[in-house]
Each structure stands twice: as C-alpha cells, then as structure tokens.
Structure 1
Amino acid sequence: MANTLDPMDLKQIISLHLDGFSNRKIGATLGISRNTVNNYMRLFKASNRSLKELLASDNAALEALFPSTTTIANPRYEELMLYFDGINKARNHPGFTFLFHYQEYVQHAKEPYSYTQFMEHYNRKYAKVKGSMKLEHDPGNEMYIDYAGKKLHIVDRSTGEIIAVEVFVAILPNSQYTYVEACHSQKRADFITCCGHALEYYGGVPKAIVSDNLKSAVTRASRYEADINRSFKDFARHYNCVINPTRGYSPQDKALVENAVHLAYQRIYYPLRNMTFFSLEELNKEIRKLLVAYNNLMFKRKQASRLELFQSIEKSHLKPLPTSAYQLKDYRRAKVQKMGYVYFSPDKSYYSVPYRYIGKHTQIHYTSTTVEVYYNHQRIALHRRNPRKGSYSTNRDHLSSTHKYYADWSPEFFKKKASLHGKNVAACIEKIIVSGDYPEIGYKRAMGLIQLHKAYGSQRLDNACKRAIQADAVAYQRIKNILKNNLDQSSLFYQNLEEDKSHIPVHGNIRGASSYQ
C-alpha cells in the first residue's frame, strides 16, 4: 500500500531545513526520496509564506496548501531482499549454487524476477569487496535508542514472584553519553516515557531520534520509508525533533547503541547480579548510581570521559527542552450525537462539541488530563478530562439557542419567569417544584403552568393561582381546569372563597353540628 506525507511529515521537513540540513540529507534522515523533498521545498517557496509561518500553521492549513503526495512502496523488491538474507547465510555451504536458490525463489515468489535481475540485485547488495565505513557523528545531531536483549528482575514483596523488566538504552553518538532505565514493558506508553526521561537526562533535544523498528515506534517497517507510530510522531513534534527508524535487517545502522547495550551488560548488569530489588524505583535508583560511574570512565585514546565530551562539545548543540513535559496521547473516533455530544468510550462519558457538527465523524485526542475533539484536522472542542463514568462535560458556547434555554432550567429560573405574571403564580410554581419527586418533572409542570398565560392572560392566571392556593389545590391540571371552566371569574366562587362561607343557604329546617352531639 502507498504511504502519504501528512502535515506532520511536512513539519519535519521544514524543521530539518531550518536546522541547516540539505534536501539530500533531509531525505536520508526521514527516509523520503530526495526528489520528493525538492518538490515540497519548491512548493513551500511558491506559497509566499515563510518557513517559520508554515511551521506554526495548524495541520488543516498545511493539508489545504499542500495536498498529500504518495510515495510508492515496492513489496516485490523487499521480498527479494529478505530472501537474499537466507541465501547469504548458506553461501559457504558445500554444493551451493545460485541457480538452485533461484529455482526455489521462483516457486515461492508471487512476481519473481528473471535470473539476470536476480543476480544483478544480489551482486549490488553483496559486493565482492565489502568494507565498513566509520561514521562521523555531528554533535547534537542524533540520539540512538534501543532495548537490551537481556532483562533485569524485581521481586513482588507480597508474593515473592520474580518479575522480568525491560531495559531501555539511549546514547548520543558524538560523545557516547549514555542513559539507561528499567521499565515494565516495551509498550508505547513505557517506551515514550523512557524517551522523555532520556531527553530530560541530557537536558536538551537532538535534531533526530534514531529508533529500532519496534512496534511502539513504527507501525509498518520498511527499508526505505517506515510508517511512524502516530503517538511517537506527536512526541517528536512536541520536542521539535524528527524520528528516523533504522532500516530493517541492517544492524550496522545502530551499531553504536548495540555496543552501548553490551557495555551496559558489563558496567550495570554485572554489578547488580547479587542485588534484590522490590520495585522499579529502587532498581532505577541503583542504575543511576552505576550510570554516573560509567559515564565518568576515561576513554583511553581520547583522554576524556563521556560526561566531559558531552559537556564540552555536545550539550551546546542540543535544542532546548520544551517548557512542559509531553503527555502521551491516545486516539478514538466518535460520531457527534443529535444532542451535540461525542461518546468517549474509555471513560464511558460524554463531551460537548459545537452543535453545527451534529452527525459528523470526529477524532478524539486525549491524555490523562485533557480531551480534544478534532474535525478535519481542526480542533473544535477542548475539555478537562472527567474520569467519572456517565458524566456529561458541557461548554455552554457549544449549545444552540434552544439547548441553552433548556440548560438554564432551575428553581430560580422558573421563579423569575413566574414573578412576571403575579405573586400568586410565583407561589404556585414554588409549590409545584418542591412537590415533585424528580426535578425535571417539576420543571415541565412549572413550564406548562407559565405557558397558560398565552391563552388566558397574566391577570386570569394569577387569579386562578390565588383560588388554587386558597382551596389547597395547587397543581397544573387543576389550575388549568379553573381557567377552562371560567371558575376564576365566577362571583359565587369568589365570594365563597373570600368570605370562607358555606355555599348552602341558612334555613330553619337545617340542623347544625350541635344537633349531633
């Protein structure tokens, strides 16, 4: 499948160019064709915007200015290169012939090369005279990272279980200043946390981070253009650097960090062999002590230690750390519901977005403290994360005028509206709200009572409420019946209520209560 250069890749190109990299070196660092870099640099110049302005632009603006360009992967060629690795191991076996392996290759390959091309590609990869080149590393240019193959261990204090832990290793190749940390796993969260700790240990940021093709860093490995994990790419954007994975099946690309791992076995693993640790914190505290001694060891030929070389040469070439530490981001997709909220599945909660996005498909970016909602690479909502399940987080600016009206419902809201139609209406509203078992039910009855003024007027509504209070019959339906049957306008009804007299006339043949004692 073809890969695409997304806006974050474009920002990496711009960042490296501003750091003084040539187009060829940018292509080599990012694993992108030099012609692709050349084309984008021409597009950047033609945009009539400075590179710093483009770097400060959001992803949506960059995508609009520079539509994604595809770069073609070649699975046929990669398949052949992988097959050559097996052939080369058997090269010295008695009876070895290229023709035998070519016939075997033809049987398994989907689109086999011809024999002539087969041999041509083999000879290009494995030249007869193959020497190794000593790479010169510019100070502050790269940080190599890897995990050690062998693990350390901690003990669960309560159960006595021995737990294996991973060991992360980072090195600045110019000074060979090394950082080592134990962590629970190679998963993305632990991996990115270790990378952040390494940068804090160095007190600065290199131009590029060179990683192995582990899954936490690379979603899809390739010898020519790896697909970087989105969270790791976002980590690099936060620290203003780029990610440059090593080529698959090319251990020479990370020889320095491999050597650092072997030295860690000698200088850190071996002194810890007889020690027992009950937590990662205890283990890392001891590793830090040994790391100080390791970085202070003198190189015999250079007459300086790793720490001295780092402080005198490399540290000044590192970029400054950002003001805040990186918070790991995760991603979810969600459709905006009719009520104007997106459902956030990790916490089973809801967050509001502007009502005009109802029905749209969005992407949620979230950390341990914040929740951001994006639509077409543009952020449309930002909330503080609420871990309580089933909660609704609402920004009033996101609500439509109708939604805002309903959101205002409260006892004070209805008392204020009722007071416009008379003190008796306000008294009835207060009784109705208090008597309800559930606030929203009381609110609906109160709203229904207030709306009666549209059909009967405020004066009649106030009179009807007065009669209902006197008769201890305060209820929406009863007040409505008083108005419907014009009982609020009946003089007999008024007189009996006001004078508190019986409606039965006085008569001599009618016995009173005294006759029944």
Structure 2
Amino acid sequence: WLEADRMLPRKQRHTIRRVHDRLLAETDYDGEYSTTMRYVHRWREANRGMPDREGYVRLEWAAGSMQVDFGMARARIAGEMADVHCLVASLPYSNMRLCVALPGENAECLCHGLMLVFEHIGGVPPVIVMDNATGAGRRNAKGEVALTGVFSAFVAHYRLEVRFCNPYSGNEKGSVENAVGFLRRNLMVPPMRAESYGQLSRLLLERCDGLARDSYCPRLPDVPVAE
C-alpha cells in the first residue's frame, strides 16, 4: 500500500491510521497501533531518498516551537448554535495539538486564546509561527507585517519571536493546518455544548489532553505525546 501510494497525489495517500484500520479489516493482523506506526515510520525513513512524483524538503522544528491558526466550527453556546472561532496551536516537534474557543479573530481574541494555551501547558514557546496576519497585524503590498498595538504589547510581554508564513509556502504551516482538521473531526463531531466560550475552551483542552495521552510522538514512537 505504501509503495502504491507513490503513484497517487500526496493528499490521497495512506495515513498511519488508515494503514492500521485496513490491516485490521483486510488481514489477520492483530497488532497495536503503535506497532503499525513504528513500521510505517521505519519504511518512510528507509524510502525517503527514492524517486517520487513530487519533491519535497522535510521541515525540522525545534522543540517548543509553536504554530498557530484559526479554524471554524459549529457549537451550541448557552443553548444557541454559533459559529465558533477555534484557535488551534500545534507543537510540531511532539505533535501536541491544543484548541480553545473564541467569539472572533481580532487581536484581543488572539491574545486571550494564546494566554489560555500558555496557562494550560505551563510555559511559553520561544517561537510562534502564524499562518497569516489576521488579528496580529496588517500585511502590506511587500509582504511585510505591521503588528497591531495590542499584539505588539503581548509579544513584548512574553518575549516571543513571531514569524509569519510565506503566502506561497504552504508546507511552513502544514502541522497546524492538519491539526485544525484533525481536532475539528475528533473533538467537534457532534457539535459540542457549553454555557460559555470559557467552558467550551476548558472542555476542548481536556479532550486535547486525552488525545495526547493516547497517541505517540512521531520522533519517539514509544513515548506518548503528552509526555
């Protein structure tokens, strides 16, 4: 299956979960997901240099670096269905994914959401990579971003280094884009219920912790992401 994937578009290839599900459904295999994951990782490492239809460079992320992006989801807040702006943060090195619920995507919501994430993980990442300048500032015709006053003060307070992705380099933000879809499918189906955005954020973070305990770090296959 992995060899046959070379002839398919990259977004239509087997994930590790899909390989594991097919093994259980179509063969006599009865191994654990972690066993499948270790095998697939070894196969990909061994075959990385072989010819492929598409060339790519694997990005290396330092431990602690964080990617941030917004995604939309429906949820019931205080009995009413609402469009929730989900601030998603991913730590590519460990594949940790976190999500909080906000009413908008302006600078105040962005700063508040990041504060909730920092408090939850008990630390501040040295580098934050953002998908675009929404809520953080404005991008001019040259591609330069001028931070808003609120976000500039937030960055100075936490002593962060903030980087903005190149609009033509989607691979720079692949981790968080995958996290947005993954968390929406795994946490927000069916739509969640809460009395407030604060309560919904707490529920989302609790579920993110549960997913992290049940999955493994891609670089250390025997170590749960939560560790």
Structure 2 residue corresponding to 1:151, chosen from 53, 69, 73: 73
Structure with more helix by fraction: 1
Corresponding residue for 1:244? Answer: 163
Please tell me the residue identity of whatever aligns with 1:220: R
Corresponding residue for 1:208? Answer: 127
Please tell me the residue identity of whatever aligns with 1:132: Y
Please tell me the residue identity of whatever aligns with 1:287: L
**DSSP-derived class of the 2:59 partner:** coil
Is the 1:154–1:280 Cα contact (8 Å) retained in structure 2? no
Tell me how many residue pairs correspond in the alignment. Answer: 173
Structure 2 residue corresponding to 1:225, chosen from 120, 134, 144: 144
Matches of 2:164 and 2:116, distance apart in 1: 19
Corresponding residue for 1:134? Answer: 58
TM-score (norm 1): 0.31
Matches of 2:81 and 2:215, distance apart in 1: 36
Is the 1:175–1:306 Cα contact (8 Å) retained in structure 2? yes
* Deviation of 1:151 (Å): 1.5
Matches of 1:286 and 1:230, distance apart in 2: 31
Structure with more strand by fraction: 2
* Aligned positions of 1:381-420 closer than 5 A: none
* Aligned positions of 1:461-480 closer than 5 A: none
Is the 1:213–1:246 Cα contact (8 Å) retained in structure 2? yes
Indicate how the Cα distance of structure 1 residues 218 and 292 shifts in structure 2: closer, same or farther if over 3 A, else same.
Answer: same
Matches of 2:188 and 2:57, distance apart in 1: 30
Corresponding residue for 2:111? Answer: 192
RMSD of the TM alignment (CA)?
2.3
Is the 2:95–2:217 Cα contact (8 Å) retained in structure 1? no
Matches of 1:220 and 1:244, distance apart in 2: 12
Indicate how the Cα distance of structure 1 residues 132 and 153 shifts in structure 2: closer, same or farther if over 3 A, else same.
Answer: same
Please tell me the residue identity of whatever aligns with 2:62: D
Runs of 4+ in 1 over 6 A off after TM superposition: none
Is the 2:99–2:208 Cα contact (8 Å) retained in structure 1? yes
Is the 2:76–2:192 Cα contact (8 Å) retained in structure 1? no
1:289 aligns with 2:206: yes
* Deviation of 1:131 (Å): 1.6
Is the 1:156–1:163 Cα contact (8 Å) retained in structure 2? no
Matches of 1:207 and 1:223, distance apart in 2: 26
Please tell me the residue identity of whatever aligns with 1:165: V
Is the 1:145–1:211 Cα contact (8 Å) retained in structure 2? yes
Larger radius of gyration: 1
Corresponding residue for 2:100? Answer: 181
Is the 1:144–1:171 Cα contact (8 Å) retained in structure 2? yes
Structure 1 residue corresponding to 2:172, chosen from 253, 278, 281: 253
Please tell me the residue identity of whatever aligns with 1:304: V
* Aligned positions of 1:39-54 closer than 5 A: none
Corresponding residue for 1:265? Answer: 184
Indicate how the Cα distance of structure 1 residues 212 and 230 shifts in structure 2: closer, same or farther if over 3 A, else same.
Answer: farther
> Structure 2: 5+ residue runs without aligned partners?
1-52
Identical aligned residues as a percent: 24
Is the 1:222–1:248 Cα contact (8 Å) retained in structure 2? no
1:304 aligns with 2:226: no
Matches of 2:156 and 2:55, distance apart in 1: 37
**DSSP-derived class of the 1:257 partner:** helix
Indicate how the Cα distance of structure 1 residues 193 and 276 shifts in structure 2: closer, same or farther if over 3 A, else same.
Answer: closer
Indicate how the Cα distance of structure 1 residues 182 and 299 shifts in structure 2: closer, same or farther if over 3 A, else same.
Answer: same
